Structure 1
């Protein structure tokens, strides 16, 4: 199956956005989830975990502070990969002025459904472009 960014919906949150390209609910027979995550400058997602799946993060571009399993936070940059074991608490914070672009996988897939219950969740149909506003204005 060939997927382009315009083929899939965009999830947006106050910290950024996600496009899930492969999910078990979208691709018949898929056992994992793969998507692109963008964390906006000065934003991040709070400490959380995925009890049913491990997560792998690959940094396409940008820099952030990553915490895994309540350990000491460390810097991640372009080309870095982070493995988050099933159930481990983690967070990512972009304190730079540039967007952070990540490829994220969940194994097994399906954990992306939990994001739909976030209070700041918004779903934009395929082809739509989310609008962002400057904080504090």
Structure 2
């Protein structure tokens, strides 16, 4: 296995209304990687569907904005730039951008996961 260098031309953007998910490291550009790394941008008022990842945990590094994390059993928690959130495998979660600016976070998912099915649109950077 050799070192791999990726550039924005190698990334793919998955889209739903109000949400862009840039696949920085994923199975399509790094098939041997042990993680998926994604930058998610949510426009104000957008909300992701409540879901879980049965076999993968995620760590989110919040880069910008404010949002509400919605969890199982109607639990909620506020998130803001600088926060780090870990969702264990199987944890139900979704995000609601309750702020007035885009909410941006970097998601690290391990083991890796292909998120294509969760999004309606797809475009390559190249």
TM above 0.5? yes
Q: Note the C-alpha offset of 1:111.
A: 4.2
Question: Which ranges of structure 1 fall in alignment gaps of 5 or more residues?
Answer: 128-137
**CA, structure 1 residues 37+63, in 2 after alignment: closer, same or farther (shift >3 Å)?**
same
- Length-normalised TM-score, structure 1: 0.81
Q: Note the C-alpha offset of 1:15.
A: 2.9
Q: Secondary structure at the residue paired with 2:91?
A: coil
Q: Secondary structure at the residue paired with 1:24?
A: coil
Partner of 1:76: 79
Q: Secondary structure at the residue paired with 2:49?
A: strand
Which 4+ residue blocks in structure 1 deviate beyond 3 angstroms?
A: 68-71
Contact conserved, 1:37 with 1:102, CA < 8 A, in 2? yes
Q: Does 1:125 align with 2:100?
A: no
Query: C-alpha root-mean-square deviation of aligned residues, in Å?
Result: 1.7
Contact conserved, 2:44 with 2:99, CA < 8 A, in 1? yes
| Correspondences of 1:37-116 after superposition (within 5 Å) | 37-70=40-73, 72-115=75-118
Contact conserved, 1:55 with 1:106, CA < 8 A, in 2? yes
